[in-house]
Amino acid sequence: MKRIFYLFLAAAFALASCQKVDQLEQTGDEGVVTFSVNLPGSISTKAVADGEKAVKLFYATYTEDGRLIKSLCDTTVGVTVDGKKAQIKLQLVKNLVYDVVFWAQSPDCKAFEFNWADAVMTVDYKGLANDDNRDAFYALEDNLTVTNAGLEKDVILYRPFAQINFGSADYQAVVDYYDAASVDSGMKSAVVSIDVPNTLNLCDQTIGTSVAEMDFTLAAIPNDPRLLNVNGKDYKYVSMNYILAPNGKEPYLLPEITANFQFTAGNINRTIDVKNVPFLRNHRTNIIGNFFTETAVLNIVVDEDFQKPDFNIIDPAVVFTQRKLDSLARIPSTNLFVPAGNWNVPSEIASGVVFVGAEGTVLTAGNNPFTVGGDTQVVLEDGSSLVAASGNAITLADNANVTLTVKGTASISAAGNAVWVPASSSLTVTGGNLIVTGGSGVGGSSGGSGIGGDGSITINAVITLQ
């Protein structure tokens, strides 16, 4: 069985606030502010896609209350970035507060759409894979006040993206069978994924709630001769792509990512499917393994070439374990895919986590409330007591098909519903005696619906409401 490991590699990033439209005429005592803008160098010293194509710098200036000052913007022509450096001079009124957004990208990239008035950038995830023209950098100078003439500010831009890489340990085996020139020129890769963030508020650095499907089509693998080096072992980059990523110290998860590798001349067509992929802004996620041969021996390591702090977030083996489930459950706002098998609901669950089961997935509930989706069997053991001090004890996600099996006598105490069933989902309760106290029992409607509600509910057990 193949096993794949992620290397989740870090680089620091920090920003802050602004928003909306208007034009403000500059009057009064003005001070010239010189911004020396720099793209980071050390982050990419040994990485594919080193930011060299981000040679156009755009900027937008906002008032303290978030109105766009059109006379202090260049959002169309752009300033040339030379040697990862550029300089901008703005005349700002003394003692007033400004926010200035900086964005550097390749002039050949058409994947980003800007609404500068609302300070929102949207990513289009359609197009060719492995396109380093999608590499871009951004920063925000917020709460900027001019108090002295000749103010100078150094600004460092960072990626608002995560870089998702596949590194092959066995690429050389293909080269040895054919030849380097034909394999390097003929090998192609594609990557698809779902629920990828696609909007960024440039003034408060938050990711919007909208998501998109990523569909990067077959393209030549990265031709950069540099290799992914991990603890002295080299891996060939066979896929490199960018996704918009939340900022913070804790990673988020892609529910699933699928890479396809094709070498037509060699009749090679391999697909690698990976679930629960961690990612974070200005970090790399490296998925490494043997993608072309049948034997995989892999290690988990931390890349020392990236800026500190380095994160080895989770044990990312494709072989799923209870320990991995417990670790993943601490990552917020996650659709966490749980494979077939018997698992315990983790005792520590971050906000927004949904346990998405498959056919044959059995989750044994503990004492804490949780949300479940997919085709999942939830078990309440004899004598168990599930307590929700606020909200629902068990919440079904949309389009869920859940069987709740009660062994012996178990109890649920909830301030809201014992089980919440939305209109698109179904619940079947089977087994022994379920004692429900507080709240509104088993239901799908708020406000105390008892047994019933918006979703499909089938009861094949004794339910006692107290």
The pLDDT of residue 92 is: 92
Average pLDDT, the chain: 80
Q: What is the pTM (predicted TM-score) of this model?
A: 0.68
Would you state the structure tokens that stand for residue 186, as one six-digit string?
A: 């003929």
- Residue with token string 């960072």: 158
pLDDT band at 48; cut points 50, 70, 90? low
Contact 30, 156 (CB under 8 A): no
List residues bridging with 127 in a β-sheet: 216
Q: What is the dihedral of CA 61, 64, 68, 72, to 10 degrees?
A: -30
Would you state the structure tokens that stand for residue 350, as one six-digit string?
A: 């971050």
Going by the DSSP 8-state scheme, the letter that residue 148 receives in this structure is S
pLDDT band at 78; cut points 50, 70, 90? very high
Q: Of 143-152, 239-248, 398-407, where does mean pLDDT reach its minimum?
A: 143-152
The Cα 58–Cα 105 span in angstroms is 8
Give tens-digit pLDDT for 186-236. 999 999 998 899 999 999 888 888 889 999 999 999 987 778 876 667 889
The pLDDT of residue 439 is: 63
* Cα–Cα nearest to 254, from 207, 213, 305: 213
The Cα 268–Cα 282 span in angstroms is 33
Pick among 1.10.20, 2.40.50, 2.60.40, 2.50.20: CATH of 30-156: 2.60.40
The Cα 373–Cα 356 span in angstroms is 4
Which helix (H) or strand (E) element contains residue 173? helix 171-177
Would you state the structure tokens that stand for residue 74, as one six-digit string?
A: 């260049």
**Of 3 and 70, the one with more pLDDT:** 70
- Residue with token string 């346990």: 355
Cα 298 to chain centroid distance, Å, stands at 24
Which helix (H) or strand (E) element contains residue 323? helix 322-328
The domain limits of the chain are: 5-9+161-289, 30-156, 322-465
* Cα–Cα nearest to 299, from 36, 1, 3, 37: 3
pLDDT band at 438; cut points 50, 70, 90? low
The Cα 229–Cα 221 span in angstroms is 17
- The average pLDDT across 306-312 equals 35
pLDDT band at 454; cut points 50, 70, 90? low
Would you state the structure tokens that stand for residue 463, as one six-digit string?
A: 């339910």
Contact 226, 47 (CB under 8 A): yes
Going by the DSSP 8-state scheme, the letter that residue 183 receives in this structure is H
Would you state the structure tokens that stand for residue 251, as one six-digit string?
A: 């990673």
The Cα 129–Cα 103 span in angstroms is 22
- Residues with Cβ < 8 Å from 56, sequence gap 6 or more? 78, 79, 80, 81, 104, 105, 106, 107
The Cα 360–Cα 34 span in angstroms is 62
